[in-house]
Amino acid sequence: MKILDHLEEWLITFLMGGATLITFAAVIHRYMSGLAIPGLQDWLLSLNFSWAQELCIIMFVWMAKFGAAYGVRTGIHVGVDVLINRLSDRNRFKVIVFGLLAGAAFTGIVATFGGRFIWDNGAHYALLHAFGMDPGDLPEGPTTPDLEWPTWLVYSAVPLGSSLMCFRFLQVTYHFIRSGELPHHDHGHVDGIEAKEMPVDVNVYDMDDNLHPHDIKHPMLGEDEDEGGKQ
Amino acid sequence: MNAAIIFGLLLALMLTGMPISISLGLTVLTFLFTMTQVPLESVALKLFTGIENFEIMAIPFFILAGNFLTHGGVARRMILFATSMVGHWNGGLGLAGVLACALFAAVSGSSPATVVAIGSILLPAMVKAGFPTRFGAGIITTSGALGILIPPSIVMVMYAVATNTSVGALFMAGVVPGIVLATVLGSVTWYRARKFGYPRQARATWAERFKAFRDSIWGLLLIIIVMGGIYTGIFTPTEAAAMSAVYAFFVAVFVYRDMKLKDVPKVLLNSANMSAMLLYIITNAVMFSFIMTNENIPQTLADWMLSQGLGPVAFLLAVNVLLLAAGNFMEPSSIVLIFAPILFPVAMKLGINPVHFGIIMVVNMEVGMCHPPVGLNLYVASGVTKMGITELTIAVWPWLLSMLCFLLLVTYWPGLSIWFPRYLGMM
């Protein structure tokens, strides 16, 4: 399980950094090759960066799908929680469980659809082909315009990411039912008025606001002065 | 009828507190399975191609750039520069806070990030200098909202994507209103500081000002790279965003050295986390607006409104009320993605300029970010100051009130927004 966690983090970190560098390199390349520097210009012109934009998009699509799964684990997805945060603990517990299961249901359905879609659009053909079987009249599926990668491979981000997200939703639900705790909103990272340096990974979408449900275990920040019991 | 069912379902699902992206997706699925003849394939395709749009990719890049800038010492130097320029006036550090927020907003695309970057450094300094915490918190919470009005702006990219408006023109249109709003907030600060006799800083000499300017030049240059690059057409907005991310990384790690190389993966992961959340909302919002367009809902709504004899003035008023109300429940990106596709066709039929309409929406979002129950700026400021939300709400009202007046000005004076991009020839 730890391995999966790390793999997920490592993957989206890499995709984020990689996409940035590629786009940066492509822009630099475009302008450098416009400069008349003998030798360098010819070499630069011989490089072809037309695929950069496409690769950047693909990397970000993958980053978005797996990052969304990671977001379930970190509890970052925003919702309309003004009303349910006014409910009693008992009722809020039920509503939160319903919300989490709805998330699992949606991502599960999307994963199934997505899987079927790529299966019909080339994955089936590729699998049979890879094992040396005759694919018959199965479609080979389209390829992407610049990189000419098979689209089913690119689009497999959807079923893979959604499955992972579904799994994360179930994991969070299980944990919530057992302990009453939702993915941690770390209040500790803002150390009050004296702290001058914020930690590098302070997350502005991760404050204890009404965009996220409050769990059962922690009292609410912000409104707790009326109700007593600050953490 | 279909419209009522779609919206009713969406509203019901959202109110259960599940993520907005999930409620949008479930609404679409339910609708698809029960009451439409739209081929499933065309929707499945949207699932894959919904965010395959190079313009959308500006969002993760701007988030990444913002995160590097927040912790890379750029904010601190901008505050020092702002203090050296306006610190000796009434309200000293408070005015410097407004100016620093405006400067930082010109390199960052997000409001809460601006609050974190400026607030976490300036607020402790203000308290030390003898300002009441409330005064500082009020300034930073509201001035931080400049982050999405002064370009670059993530919310503007969202609007551009949802309505097919030019990102460049929107960015340029935000410049003049941004400066005007900064002036308005500054005036309120100045007036209140004079009234209550808050401390002033010693006047900085020109040599000190020049030194502060030179120190902050790396951050200020970024304004020129992004805005100049987009204006001259050297970069597309997305490329400008990627350039600013790399530039911000370079400045934070190698020039100011306020961030270590080993912190970089953490920043990347954190940015990826935030961007993925926003991109996931976009994916589902794209499906949602596809279904709505397919059912002709925005067009029907537009025709109905026109048949009621609704003029531009009344329509814009209704839009403001609707968006301000929505600001009580949702954060800006979701509001723009859900409401822009619905309201935009009506605005077009009434002859409202698309760029002007975008600026109206953005200013509305700014107001929503500064008041409870969901104002992100408010919660971030609460995290920074450890003030309760109730107390912060009282603290922000003078600035919030002036912001509402500014909203009226922006709504009914299109020239304020569209003069500058017209002048530059971008629209």
Q: Could you tell me which of B131, B148, B134 has the C-alpha nearest to residue B96?
A: B131
Q: How far apart are the first and last CA of chain B?
A: 38
Residue with tokens 């950047």: A56
Query: Is the pLDDT confidence value at A139 over 80?
Result: no
The C-alpha of A48 sits at a distance from chain B's nearest C-alpha, in angstroms, of: 17
Q: Burial code of B375-385, b = ≥16 C-beta within 10 A, e = fewer?
A: bbbbbbbbbbb
Least confident piece of the model among A118-132, A141-155, A207-221, B281-295: A207-221
**Inter-chain touch B64–A80, beta carbons under 8 Å:** no
Q: Each residue of B22-44: pLDDT tens digit? A: 999 999 888 888 877 777 777 77
Residue A65: which pLDDT band, with cuts at 50, 70 and 90? very high
> How confident is the model at residue A185, as a pLDDT?
55
Residues in chain B within 8 Å Cβ distance of A208: 379, 383
Is the Cβ of A174 closer than 8 Å to some Cβ of chain B?
Answer: no
Cα–Cα distance measured from residue A198 to residue B117, given in angstroms and rounded to the nearest whole number? 8
Residues of chain A numbered 96-125 and touching chain B (CB < 8 Å):
96, 98-100, 102-103, 105-107, 109-110, 113-114, 117
List B residues 29-48 in contact with A (Cβ-Cβ < 8 A). Answer: 29, 40-41, 44, 47-48
Question: SS3 of B19, please?
Answer: strand
Nearest residue in chain B measured CA to CA from A60: B57
- How far is A117 from chain B, CA to nearest CA, in Å? 8
Sequence-ordered list of residues with C-beta below 8 angstroms from that of B217, at least 6 positions apart, any chain: none
> What 3-state class would DSSP assign to B332?
helix
Instruction: Provide the ipTM.
Output: 0.86
β-partners of residue A79 are B19
A217 CA: distance to closest CA in chain B (Å): 18
Per-residue model confidence (pLDDT) at position A117 = 83
The B residues from 343 to 372 touching A (CB cutoff 8 Å) are 372
Q: Answer whether B108 touches A (CB < 8 Å).
A: no
- CA of A140 vs chain B CAs: smallest distance (Å): 17
Would you call B29 and A109 a contact, using CB atoms and an 8 Å cutoff? yes
Q: What is the DSSP string of A124-176?
A: HHHHHHHTT---TT-----B-TTT--BHHHHHTHHHHHHHHHHHHHHHHHHHH
pTM of the model: 0.90
Model confidence at A18, in pLDDT bands (50, 70, 90)?
very high
User: What is residue A180's predicted lDDT score, i.e. its pLDDT?
Assistant: 83
Q: Do B64 and A213 make contact, defined as CB atoms within 8 angstroms? A: no
Greatest Cα pair distance in chain B = 72
Q: Does A27 touch chain B (CB under 8 A)?
A: yes
Q: Which residues of A fall within a CB distance of 8 Å from B271?
A: 16
pLDDT of A222 reads 43
Indicate yes or no: CB of A61 within 8 angstroms of CB of B53: no
Task: In whole angstroms, give the CA distance from residue A165 to residue A99.
Answer: 14
Within 5-24 of B, beta carbons closer than 8 Å to A belong to 13-23
Cα of B266 to nearest chain A Cα, Å = 6
Q: First vs last Cα of chain A: how many Å apart?
A: 31
Q: Residue A195 is encoded by which pair of tokens? A: 């702290």
Q: Do A203 and B274 touch (CB under 8 A)?
A: yes
Residue A190 pLDDT: 43
Average pLDDT for B305-334: 89
To which residue do tokens 């954060």 refer?
B331
Buried b (16+ CB within 10 A) or exposed e, A30-47: eeebeeeeeeeeeebeee
